[in-house]
Structure 1
Amino acid sequence: MRSLQQLLCSTFILPAVYAFTSTPFSPPSIPLAVRTPYLSAWLPQGGSGVALNAAWPQFWDGATLGWAGFVKVDGVPYSFLGTPSVPAAKFNLATQQSVTFTATQSTFVLAAGPIDLTVNFLSPVEPTDLVKYSIPFGYMAVSAAANDGKSHSVQVYSDISAEWVSGDDSLTVNWTSTTTGPILTHQVQLEDQTLFGEVDDHTQYGSAFYSTPNTVSATFQTGQDVVVRAQFINNGVLANTKDTNFRPVSDDWPVFGLAHNLGTIGTTASAPVIFSVGHIRDPVLEYVVVGGTQDRSLYFWSEFSTAAEVISEFLGDYSGALSRAKTFDAQVNSDASAISTKYAGIVELSVRQVAGAIEITISKEANGSWNTSDVMVFMKEISSDGNVNTVDVIMPSWPFWLYSNPALGKFMLEGLFRYQATGLYPNKWSVHDLGASYPKALGHNDGADEAMPVEECGNMLVMSLSYAQKTGDISQLQRYSALLDQWTQYLINDSLIPGDQISTDDFAGALANQTNLAIKGIVGIKAMSVVWGLLGNTAQESNYSGIAARYLPQWQAFATSTTGPHLTLDYNDESSWSLSYNLFGDKLLGLNLFPASVYAEQTAWYPTVDNAFGVPLDTRHTYTKTDWQIWTSTLMTNTAARDMFIEAVYLWASSGTNNAPLGDWYDTIAGAPEGFRARPVVGGHPGVVNTSMYLSGGP
């Protein structure tokens, strides 16, 4: 983080207060480069919005990521990215005119005197291309056009700092620069690295890369931030020099600059100058196996041998990546807009957040070759526990994977299934996660993971079946049918009257006889009936279907308030209620298990307990969650009640009460955040557009 003294010493010229447009709305934070749990750069907003050059980009946890940008127009310098302090050089601030975000892009337009600068940040979401999806890089593209009908001389500069490689700015870094060939690349890394290590959620190994095409107009420089930036501000060109005084991140703040001379620019927009920023580590994850652990690497290594090859391919593919992104963005917008424009905005803000929480991995064969048939996807439980592949975090994100590419969901479940099939995990219910701290997927051989027995068993059954239904692929059901049946047996014993246990909403505390948890268990039992049907075991199909059918009226008698009518939070607590979001499983799987009267009662009830920012999670607190509100909206039997939930989430996302990457847990009265940020559970928002969950009539 920059010191207070450095911030106060800034010599930029402050403009008058100005406003800019935000489309589709002004979010809490705008994604800039979001591809993995460790490549996650955002621009904090809040209030009426913050310009691209009015705040430093931040890691998802709020730590500063030095990322600066300047443009010179006819010799006059302007800052367009970050809030750099350069005591030895004066510069102006470009005036932001607009910002627009889509599912994959954030585009800023700023006026730098007589030219308009368009700065586009693209974090590709390539769900059907495992190589491209697994490349941990994002783009920044900068183009210029005159806004006064004249021609102007334009140069563009940008740099990143060493803050991109560690959560501890006191640690020493070293760096190299590749200055020959078609690509200019700066590479920076910690001098002493810790394999699979983290500090404050930042990785402690691997390298950050900042690159651009090595055109005749390109120059480079590494060195102290104020020196390198002053060089460009004063001269419009970098010195092509390399600082070799390796030092701590915060010692004279080493930065890695790149510049281009765009030449004379008229009213036609210039071809974009492309920068790529990324972070590569290898191996990316340690996975538990019988007798030890297995190193896992990103899928893209199956086609590339060096980081330089990856960067060259990535930069060269910008035009194609942008075209594919526009197609994907248009499809997401079209699908979501069929519900409402507000819903579309929620969906578009959510996509990069959930897509950037995973890493697609493969293993090596004994001979050292890549085994591309052994694909597993790993998700970090960002912001809350930092666990690996937390089942009840994958579950709320699940609709996005069904929407974008169900195979990614299958690969996410594979690591969980494979570990438990070894017998290393001693409990009879599903494991909560694959490891307490990402990226160490070391399992819980002692069985001491956070116990959510009904929750996780139900989740695994719902996700496994929904994947098979969506794709027709029953191979995972066949391979792990014994585990699925084992978990169903647990549900039969403990879901009609759930014991005193926690659900996914563990922050709310444990509670016996939870109505919503019982729903999940009964849905899970019925799901196993359908699984057995797909596998040809008609006897077990009939057995489990009968059990679910017998449980349902008993559950309804336990769970329906006599003073409502509505479902209770827990049995025999007549005045209590909660969001019955687990009914989503009944809809997702097409089970038609729960009677229409239950949906009608809940539809009538929720508007009576709606607060300014939505319906609380339950009667114990005034807070709620965005994913569960969206899921509950799918259960409503009329569009007014459905839209009530959607509009509440939209209000929270656009209210300016927060400046962190979209949080899913907040207070329904004041709209204040409760602590979560950037979590992948927002995958529950976009996915529903393709699961036929929204109903204009009854269930």
Structure 2
Amino acid sequence: MFPITTVIIFLSSLFILPSGADVTGSISPLNPGAVPLAVRSPYLSCWLAQGGGNALNTAWTTMYTGTILGWVGYVKVDGKTFKFLGNDGKVPVDQAVQKNLQITSTQSTFTLTAGSVDLTVNFLSPVEPDNLVNHSFPFSYLAVTATSNDGQSHSVQVYTDISAEWVTGNVSQIVSWSTSAGDMITHQAQLVDQTPFVEVGDRIQYGSVYYATSNTQGTTYQSGEDEVVRSQFVNNTTLLNTQDTQFRAVSDRWPVFGMAHDLGQVSSTSAPVVWSVGHVRDPAVEYIVQGGFQNRSLYFWSQYLNISDAISAFHDDYPPALMRANSFDQQVKRDAQAISNDYADLVALSIRQSFAASEITISKNGDGIFDTSDVLMFLKEISSDGDVSTVDVIFPTWPLYLYTSPALGKYTLLPLFEYQATGQYSNQWSIHDLGDRSYPKAVGHNDGKDEAMPVEECGNMLIMTLSYTQRTGDKSLISTYYSLLDQWAQFLITDSLIPANQLSTDNFARSLTNQTNLAIKGIIGIKAMSEIASLMGDGARSSNYSSIASSYVDQFMGLAMSSDSKHLTLNYGNETSWGLSYNLYADKLLGTNLFPDSLYQTQTSWYSNLVNEFGLPLDTRNTFTLSGWEIWTAAIVKSTSLRDHLIFSVHQYAANGNSDRPFTDWYDTKDGKSILFTARPVVGAHLAFVSYSYQAFL
């Protein structure tokens, strides 16, 4: 075990880079397993593996799957070329030296020195949840600024390219491409053989990748073999404004799509050179409706006639988008730092990753016009199995929506409600997901054979629906789907106090009878229905459900508490067992206060002496945990020192250098090694503290 007092001394000062990390220079606020670069959707997800200390120009950028996304950047200073991005070794150039890296909620900004010039390389993936057009753009920015570091004037040219690897992870697949040059220069690439709504290795098999920049004076472009195009810039400073027309497999002479800007003489700081990169497909999602299936498009299409107009609008918006991003980043940091600096670091690392798993869609009316009143958001269960809109993945993600925009939570719940309201799903409990390993095909489960988590998902839907209604005052969900909500509450009455043998969201830990933490969720779900009924003016139902929930709490305390009254057991009667009772977080989130304060005090005392170096185990069956449940547990304990220790343990895991993948939320609490689950949206759970009135609880 790791004594709390030993850790607290160092909470604000301890930061150790992993072995080999000296090549990266300074990193703030923490050194993650992977740095988010262009992270906007399930299919635009580009990262720099960082855990081992990679600089921006010492490793290939990759998708969250680990497949390479070739992205190369050169800068020429007074005729000498330096590489600042990517790991290309075919063209001999000098290496820029990375000095520092700054990570915020929306940006990753690198500073590198290339001879007499310093480069600021900014990767901005906007987060604008209150603007559905902006938030739904599957595009990200790369901006490069050059600054003279010796007070002298220097000739500077900047080049970047992306490879056809951005289209597919299977380098034997054949790709075609084209380039348009007007006010914008835009490279477009796609698979020759496309299959709508189909993934292979988490890579979508239709749509196009776009790479664009402003066609200003001194800007040139070229597509073709990687070594040929890159050597053209290195040897000649400009590109040929030509297109390779030999469409081929990705690995056949590795086609790349490059663009170069001549900044002229730089004596102070240049204006930023901006590139936009994105992956677009239309339609985006296939969704089951009554009697068939509906094709749905990303929301941004409602504002643009064609992709060229959309790219131009996105690209030209960079200066104000950067200002909005800076404001958002600062507000998130202020709010999170009210808990601790370590907590603020985790929140900054979580927001882009979590949002990038979801897509905001709209349908078309019968006349072909987009219906902006019909907004549905779908979520991909990234890396764990690819399910569509998994309820128990939305649930840990929920604090992100409550904090940034509760409306996004509503849009995420609506596809689940609408489908189940059609009656096509036959079970009396809430559905688990809208498609088994099938994203972006939200085809439902008319056979009722989805992964069964009855108490888990009923409780989740009731809790999320009530919290949305409380936060917004919008009763549309509870009024429209009142009968469904009541149906799920009725099921919880039969199966939550003494849960049958079943899975919870932690299904990798196996099913269990009489799960204590699952009972907590079910009982809170019943109370949530009581509150929903009250909001709907159904006093009799509200009173009945409230009475049942209170009665269940009394019985629960006798069933779930160990005989010495020192802790809750993992499941009833299992005296030597215990687990994280993180579902109590919902009681505080909703303000229902069903469970007595003494229970929180008891659990706090029990946990205080059980923390391993990287946190509390999920339960006594294993030594692993999930980072989201660590933070939820931190949000319900009655000790600020234990709270800070649990946050610190997650922070320490996130920055320990044992992983080179996007935040892996399942890991071992003893050695800090990642187990599985990469780039999942569930890191939205890390926003637990800022999503409700934590200070009032404490």
Task: Give the whole-Å Cα distance in 1 for the aligned partners of 2:227 and 2:570.
Answer: 58
Distance of 2:450 and 2:75 partners within structure 1 = 52
CA–CA distance in structure 1, aligned partners of residues 589 and 214 of structure 2: 47
- Aligned equivalent of 2:80: 76
1:516–1:580 Cα contact (<8 Å) kept: yes
Letter matched to residue 522 of structure 2: G
Q: Residue 30 of structure 2 is aligned with which of 25, 32, 39?
A: 25
Q: Measure how far apart 1:607 and its partner are.
A: 1.6
Deviation readout 1:216-268 (Å, 9 max, x if unpaired): 110000000010001011111111111000001111100000000000111x2
Identify which of 14, 34, 41 aligns with 1:36.
41
Instruction: Give 1:149 deviation, angstroms.
Output: 1.6
**Residues 1:60 and 2:64 aligned together:** yes
| 2:31–2:50 contact (8 Å) kept in structure 1 | yes
Q: What are the superposed Cα offsets for residues 135-157 of structure 1, whole Å, 9 maximum, x if unpaired?
A: 11000000101111211100000
- Residues 612 and 670, structure 1, Cα contact 8 Å, conserved in 2: yes
Whole-angstrom distance in 2 between the partners of 1:207 and 1:428: 41
What does 1:513-662 align with in structure 2 at a 5 Å threshold?
A: 513-563=514-564, 565-662=566-663
C-alpha displacement of 1:575 = 1.0
Q: Is the 8 A contact 1:388 1:433 kept in 2?
A: yes
CA displacement at 1:696 relative to structure 2: 7.4
Distance, in Å, in 2 between the alignment partners of 1:18 and 1:647 is 25
The residue that corresponds to 1:300 in the other structure is 300
Distance 2:435 2:201 in 1: 17
* Counterpart code for 1:109: T
Quote the residue 1:358 is aligned against: 358
The one-letter amino acid paired with 2:125 is: S
TM score, norm. by length of structure 2: 0.96
Residue in structure 2 matched with residue 10 of structure 1 by the alignment: none
1:442-493 per-position Cα deviation (integer Å, ceiling 9, x unaligned): 0000011000000000000000000000000011100000000000011000
- Amino acid aligned to 2:445: H
Residue matched to 1:250: 251
Contact 1:638 1:695 in 2 (8 A): no
* Structure 2: distance between partners of 1:119 and 1:611: 38
Rounded to whole Å, the distance in 2 between the matches of 1:563 and 1:251 is 69
2:24·2:54 contact (CA, 8 Å) conserved in 1?
no
1:453: which partner in 2? 454
State whether residues 282 and 298 of structure 1, in contact with CA within 8 Å, keep that contact through their aligned partners in structure 2: yes
Preserved contact between residue 632 and residue 688 of structure 2 (Cα < 8 Å)? no
Q: Which residue of 2 aligns with 1:6?
A: none
- Deviation of the 1:170 alpha carbon: 0.7
State the SS of the aligned residue for 1:350: helix
Structure 1 residues 265 and 227, CA, compared in 2 at 3 Å: closer, same or farther? same
1:398 aligns with 2:398: yes
Secondary structure of 2:427 counterpart: coil
Q: Secondary structure at the match of 1:608?
A: coil
Q: In 2 relative to 1, CA 363–16 (structure 1 residues): closer, same or farther, beyond 3 Å?
A: closer
| Partner SS, residue 424 of structure 1 | coil
1:684 alignment partner in structure 2: 685
Question: What is the alpha-carbon distance in structure 2 between the residues aligned to residue 693 and residue 167 of structure 1?
Answer: 43
| TM superposition outliers: structure 1 runs of 4+ over 4 Å | none
Whether the 8 Å contact between 1:114 and 1:147 is mirrored in structure 2 is: yes
Q: In structure 1, give the amino acid aligned to 2:505.
A: T
In structure 2, the partner of 1:109 is: 111
Task: Give the match's secondary structure for 2:319.
Answer: helix
Partner letter of residue 54 of structure 1?
T
Percent of aligned pairs sharing the same letter = 57
Distance apart, 1:16 and its partner CA:
13
Please state if 1:382 is matched with 2:386.
no
Query: Structure 1 46/495 Cα, relative in aligned 2: closer, same or farther at 3 Å?
Result: same
CA contact (8 A) 1:403 1:688 kept: no
**Does the aligned pair in 2 maintain the 1:400–1:688 contact within 8 Å?**
no
Instruction: Give the match for residue 424 of structure 2.
Output: 424
SS in 2 for 1:343: helix
Tell me the secondary structure at the aligned position of residue 63 of structure 1. coil
Report SS of the residue matched to 1:46.
Answer: coil
Distance 1:595 1:67 in 2: 55
Which AA in structure 2 matches 1:133?
H
What is the Cα deviation at residue 563 of structure 1?
3.5
- In structure 2, C-alpha distance between the alignment counterparts of 1:692 and 1:204, rounded to whole Å: 44
Question: Structure 1 residues 19, 400: CA separation in 2 closer, same or farther (over 3 Å shift)?
Answer: closer
Structure-1 residue corresponding to 2:10: none
1:335 alignment partner, SS class? helix
What does residue 90 of structure 1 align with?
A: 92
Retained in 2: the 8 A contact 1:563–1:574?
A: no
List per-residue Cα deviations over 1:414-437 (Å, max 9, x = no partner): 000000000000100000001111
SS in structure 2 of the partner of residue 567 of structure 1:
coil
Provide, for residues 58-97 of structure 1, a one-character-per-residue CA deviation record: whole Å limited to 9, x for no partner: 10111100111000001100100000122xx420010000
CA shift at 1:166, angstroms? 1.5
Paired letter, 2:375: V
Cα-to-partner distance string for 1:304-346 (whole Å, 9 max, x where unaligned)? 0111001100111000100100010000000000101110000
One-letter code of the match for 1:364? Answer: K
Give the 3-state SS of the residue equivalent to 1:58 in structure 2: strand
Amino acid aligned to 2:264: G
Tell me which residue corresponds to 1:276: 276
- Tell which deviates more after alignment, 215-224 or 144-153: 144-153
1:690 is displaced (CA, Å) by 3.2
Whole-Å Cα distance in 2 between the matches of residues 183 and 435 of structure 1?
A: 39
Write the letter of the residue equivalent to 1:114.
S
Report how far residue 694 of structure 1 moved: 4.8
SS in 1 for 2:30: coil
Give the superposition deviation at 1:167: 2.6
Provide Cα deviations, 1:325-383, integer angstroms capped at 9, x if missing partner: 00100000000001011100000000000111110000000110111100000000001
Contact 1:348 1:686 in 2 (8 A): no
Q: 1:17 to 1:342 in 2, by over 3 A?
A: closer
Q: 1:634–1:694: 8 Å Cα contact kept in structure 2? A: no
* Distance in 2 between residues matched to 1:649 and 1:681, nearest whole Å: 14
Answer whether contact 1:401 1:687 (CA < 8 A) is retained.
no
SS in 1 for 2:583: helix
Measure, in 2, the Cα distance between the counterparts of 1:690 and 1:509: 30
Measured in 1, the distance between the counterparts of 2:92 and 2:501 equals: 64
The answer to whether the 8 A contact 2:156-2:265 is kept is yes
Cα distance change, pair 16–602 in 1 and its aligned pair in 2 (3 A): closer
Query: Displacement of 1:517 after TM fit?
Result: 0.1
CA distance in 1, matches of 2:693, 2:575: 33
Give 3-state SS (helix, strand or coil) of 2:105's partner: coil
Summarize the Cα distance change of 1:605–1:165 in structure 2 as closer, same or farther, 3 Å threshold: same
- Equivalence map 1:363-374=2 (5 Å): 363-374=363-374
Partner of 2:313: 313
Paired position in structure 2 for 1:665: 666
In structure 2, the gaps of 5 or more residues are 1-19
Q: Secondary structure at the match of 2:486?
A: helix
| Unaligned runs of at least 5 residues, structure 1 | 1-14
TM-score, normalization by structure 1:
0.96
Q: Is the contact between residue 68 and residue 169 of structure 2 (CA under 8 Å) also seen in structure 1?
A: no
Find the counterpart in structure 2 of residue 286 from structure 1: 286
- One-letter amino acid of the counterpart of residue 397, structure 2: S
Task: Check conservation: 2:21, 2:54, Cα contact below 8 A.
Answer: no
**1:369-403 superposed Cα distances (whole Å, 9 cap, x missing partner):** 11110000000000101000000000000000000
| Aligned match of 1:493 | 494
> Matches of 2:89 and 2:610 in 1, distance apart?
50
Match of 1:169 among 168, 171, 179: 171
